[in-house]
């Protein structure tokens, strides 16, 4: 016969388990809107008493009394799916990365949004129109020449503005990256402190269980940390968490340490170079930190040093610099600046020799003389020098001095210095037949380096007719401005040291605008896919870990029925015990 009060012990535990389950249901319902809360449950098992060794309650032949010991619980667990958590953190890092890139590219687009309308395209078109108007006028038409110079000034100011605004965007996001790193490092410090608390609390729990609320806090941190870069998570036997980012452990639960993420001096290097406090370089494949690096350091085909091949702020800065430099170089060269520096139409406003969108300006020579670009280089036969002036074409007979053709001459003993005769002319060298050896296309110069004119038998200078008729009308030809104007139709211009593009000025503007639009479209497409996946995973995680009010309501009713039934069982046991104590042995009752 088993102990009389064993049934009461069994039902007492039953009441306790029913009460604990009701407590957990109430806790779940109370935290239905608590961020990061994970639904909990009581892990129960059927009680038994071992029949082995000292734990035996009875003889080997009678073990029946050891059955029916009721219910007990291992502990209170969280309902989580580690696979869903892993996939969620992978995809939320991609969502965060594309969100950040879209924001940065959006700011670039806000600067260049009028690129092909009222922005650079229009400024270039206005300059093109002004040159066209000037080319149709006389080269000495100061008024239209001034309009062309002013249109060039407007183009330079537009490029200066783009450069300044892109620099401001760059500074904004460099500072934002620094703020994000400060926040991540602060979060890692808080996670380390939380690991310390978890380890202390875990000491009071069975192996499989621990401080669920602290686990929830840690998982909230981990979820947020996952937006900054791809992470991997491991929970240690002492309940603490290890977290790695980019393959480097940044949170160590066993040693209670963490590693900050730092950035090298941006002002010195010009790139956003990140490294872990432990010394390793930060190399990420996803997350907002990668987005900042891609967009700040992304310089496309112009990437060098710590830069990358993404089309980010650096690339569009380079694109504006390349446009400014290419326009300046092609027009300066066409205007003769390679031969005479004062013919430069565009120059650098700073001491830097390299023209950029930030420093390009119209040259002072052009501003002071707007008709400078209407003048052409010609050879002054009287002075023997090259000079600049308006290109004239006359209907009247045009004559010029006929100069002697150069010939080979005798030299002094040094083999270089010519021998001169009494008239200061080089002594001609003759061939074997006694003929002077002439040098075609070259004019003869005397001892004073002056050209030597041909003279007739009477000693008069001989003139020769070049062209013209007898009307005497002189026309100024705007040949140089027409040539400058033609550069806008040149489709063979190479833009960039890496030849990012070959075409005309206008085609390059469209190319850059399209590249920006395609880059934004690509990131938006990636973001849309990531958002859908993240939302699906959140729904799946809520189905597993979130508090479901309908389910908790059903559990509440079940546990209430369980509690009531167990209470009635106690009443029944009490009646049975009363009968045993007060009714046993009383015959006839």
Tokens of 311: 């089309």
Element (H, E) at 41: strand 40-46
At residue 401, the pLDDT reads: 80
At residue 392, the pLDDT reads: 66
Q: Is 202 inside any structural domain?
A: no
Compute mean pLDDT per 10 residues along the chain, 589 residues long, and list them. Answer: 70 90 93 93 82 51 63 91 94 96 95 76 93 90 94 96 95 97 97 96 88 95 96 94 95 95 93 93 95 96 92 96 95 92 92 88 95 85 75 62 87 86 89 88 86 86 66 66 90 84 92 93 96 95 92 92 89 83 69
At residue 50, the pLDDT reads: 62
At residue 57, the pLDDT reads: 47
Domain end position, chosen among 476, 497, 532: 476
At residue 70, the pLDDT reads: 84
Q: Is 99 inside any structural domain?
A: no
Q: Is 426 inside any structural domain?
A: yes
Residues found in the chain: 589
Torsion sign over Cα 411, 413, 416, 418: negative
Domain end position, chosen among 444, 476, 508: 476
- Record the pTM: 0.78
Q: Is 273 inside any structural domain?
A: no
Give the relative orientation of helices 142-202 and 82-112 as an angle to the nearest 10 degrees.
Answer: 160
At residue 168, the pLDDT reads: 96
At residue 60, the pLDDT reads: 52
Q: Is 53 inside any structural domain?
A: yes
Q: Is 36 inside any structural domain?
A: yes
At residue 137, the pLDDT reads: 87
Domain end position, chosen among 419, 443, 476: 476
Q: How far apart are CA 379 and CA 374, in angstroms?
A: 17
Return the bridge partners of 465, or none.
399
Tokens of 582: 């007060």
Supply the range of the domain harboring residue 469: 389-476
DSSP 290-301: HHHHHHHHBBGG
Q: How far apart are CA 51 and CA 60, in angstroms?
A: 8
Number of domains in the chain: 2
Q: Is 435 exposed, middle or buried (0-12, 13-18, 19+ CB in 10 A)?
A: exposed
At residue 586, the pLDDT reads: 62
DSSP letter (8 states) at residue 239: S
Q: Is 558 inside any structural domain?
A: yes
């Amino acid at each position: 016969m088993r102990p009389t009060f064993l049934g009461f012990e069994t039902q007492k535990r039953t009441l306790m388990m029913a009460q604990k389950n009701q407590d957990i249901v109430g806790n779940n319902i109370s935290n239905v809107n608590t961020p990061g809360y994970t639904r909990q449950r009581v892990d129960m098992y059927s009680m038994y008493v071992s029949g082995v060794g000292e734990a035996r309650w009875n003889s080997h032949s009678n073990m029946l009394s050891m059955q029916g010991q009721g219910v007990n619980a291992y502990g209170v667990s969280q309902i989580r799916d580690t696979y869903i958590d892993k996939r969620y953190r992978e995809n939320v890092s991609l969502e965060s990365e594309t969100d950040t890139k879209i924001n940065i590219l959006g700011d670039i687009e806000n600067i260049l949004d009028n690129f092909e309308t009222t922005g650079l395209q229009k400024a270039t078109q206005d300059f093109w129109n002004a040159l066209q108007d000037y080319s149709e006028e006389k080269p000495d038409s100061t008024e239209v020449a001034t309009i062309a110079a002013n249109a060039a000034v407007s183009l330079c100011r537009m490029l200066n503005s783009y450069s300044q605004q892109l620099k401001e965007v760059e500074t904004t996001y460099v500072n934002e990256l620094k703020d994000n790193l400060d926040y991540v490092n602060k979060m890692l410090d808080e996670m380390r402190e939380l690991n310390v608390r978890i380890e202390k609390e875990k000491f009071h729990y069975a192996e499989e269980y621990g401080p669920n609320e602290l686990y929830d806090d840690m998982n909230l941190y981990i979820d947020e940390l996952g937006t900054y870069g791809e992470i991997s998570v491991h929970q240690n036997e002492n309940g603490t968490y290890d977290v790695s980012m980019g393959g480097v452990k940044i949170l160590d639960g066993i040693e209670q340490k963490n590693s900050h993420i730092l950035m090298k001096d941006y002002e010195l290097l010009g790139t956003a170079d990140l490294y872990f406090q432990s010394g390793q370089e930060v190399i990420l494949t996803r997350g907002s930190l990668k987005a900042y690096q891609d967009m700040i350091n992304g310089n496309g085909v112009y990437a060098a040093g710590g830069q990358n091949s993404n089309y980010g702020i650096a690339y569009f800065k380079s694109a504006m610099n390349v446009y400014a430099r290419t326009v300046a170089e092609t027009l300066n060269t066409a205007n003769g600046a390679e031969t005479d520096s004062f013919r430069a139409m565009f120059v650098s406003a700073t001491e830097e020799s390299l023209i950029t969108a930030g420093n390009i300006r119209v040259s002072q020579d052009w501003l002071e003389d707007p008709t400078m670009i209407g003048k052409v280089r010609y050879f002054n036969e009287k002075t023997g020098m090259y000079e600049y002036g308006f290109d004239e074409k006359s209907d009247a007979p045009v004559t010029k001095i006929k100069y002697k053709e150069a010939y080979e001459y005798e030299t002094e003993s040094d083999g270089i210095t010519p021998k001169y005769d009494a008239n200061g002319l080089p002594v001609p060298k003759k061939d074997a037949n006694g003929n002077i050896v002439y040098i075609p296309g070259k004019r003869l110069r005397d001892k004073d380096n002056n050209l030597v004119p041909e003279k007739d038998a009477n000693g008069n200078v001989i003139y020769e007719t070049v062209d013209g008729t007898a009307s005497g009308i002189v026309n100024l030809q705007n040949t140089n401005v027409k040539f400058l104007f033609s550069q806008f139709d040149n489709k063979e211009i190479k833009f960039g040291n890496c030849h990012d593009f070959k075409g005309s000025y206008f085609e390059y503007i469209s190319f850059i605008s399209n590249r920006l639009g395609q880059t934004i479209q690509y990131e938006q497409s990636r973001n849309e896919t990531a958002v859908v996946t993240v939302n699906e995973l959140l729904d799946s995680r809520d189905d597993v870990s979130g508090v479901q009010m309908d389910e908790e309501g059903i559990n509440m009713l079940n546990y209430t029925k369980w509690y009531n039934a167990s209470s009635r069982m106690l009443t029944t046991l009490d009646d049975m015990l009363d009968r045993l104590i007060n009714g046993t042995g009383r015959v006839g009752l």
